[in-house]
Amino acid sequence: MIKSKKKGSIIVISGTTCAGKGTVIQKLLETEENMKLSVSYTSRAIRAGDVEGSTYYFVTKEEFERKIANGDFLEYTKVHDNYYGTPKLEIKELLNQGIDVILEVDVVGAMNIKKIFPEVILIFIMAPSMEVVKERIKARGVESPSQIIRRFQTAYQEINEIPKYNYVVVNDVLEEAVSKVKSILISEKCRVDRIEEILVSNQEEVIHEFLMDKEFDNSEREIV
């Protein structure tokens, strides 16, 4: 009886450094068929484990700035002297096909997307503690002390922005965090504002009329 909107949803997932948001997203994509990750562009250098076209599309600073001038990005930002941008055309095509699109962006990018798509689902992933964040950064072994300090400063700034999000999930146990995000997305699909229209078939109308007639017939017999 209920016909939901066919257009896909935009799901923005942000989080502090080393909160494990990328792993949460990966687990979602492994089990959700009607969901795609929008791969962003970046001007930062490729790190060990990065995959071109999967982690990011890696371009030079000059190439990125040309794309900005061409209006190719839904939103873009500059973090730690590197550009990050969300491709516009790819996302619109997926949404029109009814596919949900996940965007992994920072707080600034999330707020920019919210201006364009007020109905966006904003989820913030947090590590269980900043001590855990410190240990995860150290385990990487690729950043200098000054870079680590800068990441911590950014993390504290981002935590202050949590009230602007719809949901916050603490990633202590990965399976539980993924389950919570799935529950959020299920509940969002049931929102009344996602209903396009309520349909009643001819057969349902006949059954309704029959039941109403039976009820009135019984009422009349009782009165008599």
CATH number of domain containing 20:
3.40.50.300
In a domain, 96, yes or no: no
Contact (Cβ atoms closer than 8 angstroms) between residue 129 and residue 20: no
- Give residue-wise pLDDT tens across range 127-137: 988 888 878 77
- Residue 4's region, left for phi above 0, alpha for psi from -120 to 50, else beta, is beta
- Give residue-wise pLDDT tens across range 84-133: 999 999 999 999 999 999 999 989 889 999 998 999 999 999 998 888 88
Mean pLDDT to the nearest integer, 135-144: 75
Looking at the 3D structure of the chain, how many domains does it have? 1
In whole angstroms, what is the distance from residue 67 CA to residue 55 CA? 19
Q: What is the DSSP letter of 76?
A: E
In a domain, 168, yes or no: yes
Q: Which domain holds residue 17?
A: 2-37+102-223
Q: Is the pTM of this model over 0.75?
A: yes
In a domain, 64, yes or no: no
In a domain, 146, yes or no: yes
- Give residue-wise pLDDT tens across range 24-80: 999 999 999 899 999 999 999 998 889 999 889 999 999 999 999 999 999 998 887
Compute the mean pLDDT over every residue in the chain, rounded to the nearest whole number.
Answer: 85
Dihedral sign for Cα 101, 106, 108, 111, please: positive
